[in-house]
Amino acid sequence: MSNLLLLLILLPVAAALVCYFVRSSAVRSLTVLATGAILAAASLGLLLQGAFDPIAVGSFLGISSDFLVTVLDFALLGVIFFYGLKHKNLLIQGFTLAQAALLAWFELVVVEHVDVPALVGDQLALIMVLIISIIGSLICIFAIPYMKEHEEHLHLNKSRQPRFFFFMLLFLGAMNGLVLANNVLWLYFFFEVTTLCSFMLIGHDATEIATKNSVRALWMNSLGGLAFVIGMMLMYAKTQTLDISAILAAGPQGALMVTGIGFICLAGFTKAAQVPFQSWLLGAMVAPTPVSALLHSSTMVKAGVYVVLRFAPAYVGTLLSDGVAICGAFTFVACAALAIGQSNGKKILAYSTVSNLGLIICCAGINTPLAITAAVMLIIFHAISKSLLFLCVGTIEQAIGSRDIEDMRGLYAKYPRTAMLTIIGILTMLLPPFGVLMGKWMAMEAGASNIYVIIMLAMGSALTVVYWARWGGSLMATRKEGAAPESQAMLTRLPLVTLCTGAVVLSLAAPWIYNSMLAPMFDAAPFTMSFGSLDAATGSFAVVPLFIVLGLGVLFAAKAASGFRKTRVMPPYVSGANISGDTDGTYIGPMNGDVPFAAGNMYLGELFAEGKLTPVFNALAVALIVLMLGGAL
């Protein structure tokens, strides 16, 4: 058991060191592939052994592991402070110094050092380990061919890939540590490691904009770190323990402790890039695509929502809980609105990520078994679909040299494989019977008991449809007969196809995932399962029947569509004479000139302009966060 845990946390670290010091691309590729395979297997192995009670880690070479973590903590703060100095950023310096001072006081004066079991694996942790180890590994594998091509574009003298893969793999180890931690100090340590990794990866290309955005990410996450330390201290002042399991079991314990949790939730908000902290995640898209995919799907932001969700039992039934729900719902609707005004594919994905994270946090705040189920389902399926979409956009970007969805019009004509995967990815984010929508459905059923929340969810849900549907639709086009098939590197196709299959098949398996992994989390499980349908008193989602009916329907429709060359393919109607023999929508215009087809989406600039809305949303979000923290008192 504990060997498996060490493997999940330390193997990525060891592999990261190999990638960093052995500057051979073959060794690097092999290390990444092997680490990915072992991590995936280990996470499955951990799942098979089932949930376990908190366990102690003991010591390394005679040094207690708690002490080691403390030392590393300060070392880490030192490194972050160094980067604060290097980039002359007062915010980073200030937040880091404050953290170090508070932490030193806490460690040296306040805390009674008793042995706290360091790791725990409940259902939530096991699910998170699966997501991190499998999806994270797939993204790292995708990065092997991607980074090769990326660096060819940049014409570097000396490859920066060792550094890149060092932080990518380190990230996975830190995430596994974070979700398995049972000691608050360990949780804090891994939380800070992810901050540093994300900073390094966002700034990887070392361009001016990359540096600027990475510094912004660092100061915002340092603020989160500071909030975490404050929260930890307040919480300790009341509970007198660092054992997360014990804190959760005891439930809410008065204003002081709940305020502490409120600050920890704030730390989660910064990490999950909730409004008003969304700008660091949007800036993160300057990094190579695998970084975005990693940050957006299985790591970093998921660490944020994980922290909020992890502590949910400790603030259940308090006003803080309502505050968290309202903040989350607000982010959901605000970022969905901001996404409508965007034509940059990566930015749409980024806003959609923040929006979905808001929904997850909202579910944590609603804090009923149904809502927690919704949150976990959303975490799982969002991670799969969103990583798929990011990797698709990365592939498209390398193919067409643009990430603008207007430039992706008719992508199917030239890149049918990638376009098809993207369309499926979009549909799995948007429509039933897929997992993300099922999560949203659960969230709505759970949120219906809170009028503020449900109004925002209803609006956000409608906004979401608009930006996904138009993107999906504009990718569709016809291939010329006998056009050459699209070529894709094996290591590119493997992660894409795996993720796409996963998004569909796991959605179908959702009732069983629920039954085996989520239901044991609750005393009174929110659903019963019959005939592959999830039933509750409030309503039911017939997953398998819908899959069968709609699946057969889509197969039939696809069959009907595949014979389209036998029907007459006509040029579109353009209120004028089409150019003869051309089905491209070009028509004979004034002066007998050819007028080609052109179209653009409606981005509703007057209503959803990013520049106008962002300051308003930020101000509102700050007010809501103040309201939330005050609610804890």
Partner 1 sequence: MDTLILVIIGIVVGPILGGLIAGLDRRVTAWFQSRQGPPIMQAFYDVAKLFGKEKMVVNQWQILCAWVYMIAAAVSVGLFFAQGDLLLIFFVQAVGAVFLVMGAMSAKSPYSQVGAQRELMQILAYEPVLILVFVGFYLVTGSFSVEAVWQLDQPLLAKMPLLYLALGYALTIKLRKSPFDFSTSHHGHQELVKGVLTEYSGPYLGLVEVAHWYETVLVLGLCSLFWSTNVLWMAVLLICTYMLEILVDNTMARMTWRWMLKRVWLLGMGMSVVNLIWLYAG
Nearest CB to partner 1, comparing residues 32 and 339:
339
**Does 122 contact partner 1 by CB under 8 A?**
no
Q: Does 441 bind partner 1 (CB under 8 A)?
A: yes
Mask for 401-420, x = binds partner 1 (CB under 8 A): ---------x----------
Spatial contact of 503 and 434, defined as CB atoms under 8 Å apart: yes
Q: CB-wise, 186 or 412, nearer to partner 1? A: 412
Q: Which of 459, 489, 519, 521 binds partner 1 (CB under 8 A)?
A: 459
Q: Is 1 in the site for partner 1 (CB under 8 A)?
A: no
| Among positions 108, 206, 249, 462, the unique one binding partner 1 when judged by CB under 8 A | 462
Span from 180-188, 243-251, 390-398, 471-479 in contact with partner 1 (CB under 8 A): 471-479
Token pair of 188, please? Answer: 């804090």
Least distance to partner 1 from the beta carbon of 378, Å?
A: 15
Cα–Cα distances in angstroms (integers) from residue 70 to residues 80, 103, 110, 290, in the given order: 15, 9, 14, 31
d(CA 164, CA 288): 10
How many Å apart are CA 98 and CA 532, to the nearest integer? 52
Judged by CB under 8 A, does residue 342 bind partner 1?
Answer: no
Min dist. Cβ of residue 474 to partner 1 (A): 5
Q: How far apart are CA 399 and CA 423, in angstroms?
A: 17
| Residue from 212, 343, 585, 618 binding partner 1 (CB under 8 A) | 585
Tokens matching residue 12: 């990525």
How many Cβ atoms sit within 10 Å of the Cβ of residue 491?
18
What are residue 183's DSSP bridge partners?
A: 243
CA dist 3 to 55, 135, 278, 608, Å?
Answer: 12, 22, 38, 52
Phi, psi of 541 (to 5 degrees): -120, 110
Q: Tell whether residue 473 is a contact of partner 1 (CB under 8 A).
A: yes
Binding test (CB under 8 A) with partner 1, winner from 33, 444, 525, 620: 444
Q: How far is the CB of 538 from partner 1 (least distance, A)?
A: 5
Cα separation, 275 vs 298, in Å, equals: 20
Half-sphere exposure of 405 (CA within 13 A, CB side): 29
Contact map string, positions 354 to 393, toward partner 1, x by CB under 8 A? ----------------------------------------
Near partner 1 by CB under 8 A, which window of 45-53, 293-301, 364-372, 452-460? 452-460
**Shortest distance in whole angstroms from residue 477 CB to partner 1:** 7
Out of 239, 461, 488, 507, the only residue in the binding site for partner 1 (CB under 8 A) is 461
Q: Whose Cβ is closer to partner 1: residue 3's or residue 575's?
A: 575
Q: List the alpha helices (DSSP H) in 240-253.
A: 244-250
Q: Are 347 and 282 in contact (CB under 8 A)?
A: yes
Contacts 24+ apart (CB under 8 A), 494-498: 494/138, 494/141, 495/138, 495/139, 495/141, 495/142, 495/391, 496/142, 496/388, 496/391, 496/392, 496/395, 496/418, 496/421, 497/421, 498/138
Minimal distance, residue 414 CB to partner 1, in Å: 14
Amino acid at site 463: L
Q: For residue 92, give every residue at least 6 positions away whose Cβ sits within 8 Å of its Cβ, in sequence order, or none.
A: 80, 81, 83, 84, 215, 218, 219, 222
- Cα–chain-centroid distance for residue 359? 12
Structure tokens at 622: 């700050």
In the bound state with partner 1, the residue whose beta carbon lies nearer, of 205 and 445, is: 445
- Least distance (Å) between residue 462 CB and partner 1: 4
- Hey, which residues between 519 and 538 contact partner 1 (CB under 8 A)? 537-538
Using the rule CB under 8 A, is 504 a contact of partner 1? no
Distance (Å, whole) CA 158 – CA 414: 34
Q: Which one of the spans 48-56, 64-72, 512-520, 598-606 is the region binding partner 1 (CB under 8 A)?
A: 598-606
Which position among 45, 156, 583, 619 is part of the footprint of partner 1 (CB under 8 A)? 583
The beta strand positions in 35-149, using DSSP E, are: 52-55, 59-60, 63-64, 119-121
Residue 574 as a binder of partner 1 (CB under 8 A): the answer is yes
What's the Cα-to-Cα distance from 333 to each of 37, 90, 272, 431, 517, rounded to whole Å? 38, 33, 15, 18, 29
**Smallest separation, CB 583 to partner 1 (Å):** 7
In the complex with partner 1, the residue whose CB is nearer, 195 or 385, is: 385
Stretch in the footprint of partner 1 (CB under 8 A) among 52-60, 293-301, 579-587, 613-621:
579-587
d(CA 18, CA 25): 11
458 binds partner 1 (CB under 8 A): yes
Which residues ranging from 599 to 618 are in contact with partner 1 (CB under 8 A)? 599, 601-602, 607
Query: Is residue 573 at the binding interface for partner 1, with CB under 8 A as the rule?
Result: yes
553-572 residues near partner 1, rule: CB under 8 A:
553-554, 556-558, 560-562, 564, 567-572
The Cβ of residue 44 has, within 10 Å, a number of other Cβ atoms equal to: 14
Q: At how many degrees (to 10) do helices 319-340 and 254-271 cross?
A: 20
Closer residue to partner 1, CB minimum distance, 60 or 597: 597
Neighbours of 356 (CB within 10 A): 30
Does 478 sit near partner 1 (CB under 8 A)?
yes
455 near partner 1, rule: CB under 8 A: yes
| C-beta pairs of 595-598 under 8 Å, 24+ apart in sequence | 597/572
Window of 115-123, 260-268, 380-388, 474-482 that interacts with partner 1 by CB under 8 A: 474-482
Report if residue 480 touches partner 1, rule: CB under 8 A.
no
Q: Is residue 548 near partner 1 by the rule CB under 8 A? A: no
- Taking the complex as a whole, the smallest distance from the CB of residue 593 to partner 1 amounts, in Å, to 17
Do 231 and 261 contact (CB within 8 A), yes or no? Answer: yes
Q: Are 286 and 323 in contact (CB under 8 A)?
A: no
Quote the CA–CA distance of 250 and 338 in Å, as a whole number: 40
Nearest distance, CB of residue 372 and partner 1, angstroms: 19
The residue (of 58 and 596) whose beta carbon lies closer to partner 1 is: 596
The Cα–Cα gap between 276 and 79 comes to 26
- Site for partner 1 (CB under 8 A): how many residues? 64
> Does residue 597 belong to the site contacting partner 1 (CB under 8 A)?
yes
- Of the pair 258, 500, the CB lying nearest partner 1 is at 500
* Contact residues for partner 1, defined by CB under 8 A: 410, 430-432, 437, 441, 444-445, 448, 451, 454-455, 457-459, 461-463, 465-466, 468-470, 472-474, 476-478, 537-542, 546, 549-550, 553-554, 556-558, 560-562, 564, 567-575, 583-585, 597, 599, 601-602, 607
